[in-house]
Structure 1
């Protein structure tokens, strides 16, 4: 799924300038549509203003859509390699948390799955759906999970 989102964002990024080059309205409509909309009553200056407004509107909407798509792709891909946003991931563990252990997988309520890749331990802990915060390291591509009510952090890697 992340690859599909990445391809969509790349396509939108490349296509946005092309989409923003709006054809004049009189060539985008059939003569019948143009007349039915009452646009045949406009003089050349009025028609030019309408076309300029349409171009600005389409360009603005295209830019908004591209920015929204980019944010979505970055958000969906946080934690994968060095792609995506470096904003912390917050959520809750789905089900019971039984402490940290190397190789253990943690599924969050947002559908993300993270695997512990270090030897941090937090034994004897049992919490139902605790809040978690997963933050990136300052250097490199490491992410660390902290569970509410605990000072221990575990190095994790996103697998889904």
Structure 2
């Protein structure tokens, strides 16, 4: 499951980089439109200086919008893949378990309401607990791609890895 996620991440980053480079080479508007379109839009009435200003404004706007889109795409890729890949963020993933939580046990899976699935990989135990849709915090360790799940109202945490 991890390998396709890495490939999707690389593909998304490559697509954003390609889009940015394509927009950086934006031709002037008079070359993007046919002469008929240029005249119909009334752009033939602009002075050469006004046309330069219009092209500069269009290029700035395209650059700004491209930067916003690239930033949003990166944020989305990072958020969707946190847990599979370490991005250097020490921010926890906060959410709720979808359904009932029945304690910790090695090999158990915990599905969050956001669709993420985490599997417990250590021997931490928390028996006799039953909670419906409890709040959870999944915190990355200081080093490596190791995550710990804590359930609201409990001091016990379990080492987990994201499976979906």
Aligned pair partner of 1:99 in 100, 103, 106: 103
Paired residues of 1:75 and 1:84 also in contact (CA < 8 A): no
Partner residue, 2:46: 42
In the alignment, is the contact (CA less than 8 A) between 1:101 and 1:119 conserved in 2?
A: yes
Which of 4, 16, 29 in structure 2 is aligned with 1:12?
16
Unpaired segments ≥5 residues, structure 1: none
- TM-score norm. by structure 2 comes to 0.92
Corresponding residue for residue 146 of structure 1: 150
Answering whether residue 127 of structure 2 is matched by residue 123 of structure 1, we say yes
Q: CA RMSD in A?
A: 1.5
Match of 1:27 among 17, 28, 31: 31
- Would you identify which runs of 4 or more consecutive aligned residues in structure 1 move more than 4 Å? 83-86
Within 2, Cα distance between the matches of 1:81 and 1:71? 14
Shift of 1:151: 0.4
Unaligned stretches of 5+ in structure 2? none
Q: What SS does structure 2 have at the residue aligned with 1:91?
A: strand
TM-score, normalization by structure 1? 0.94
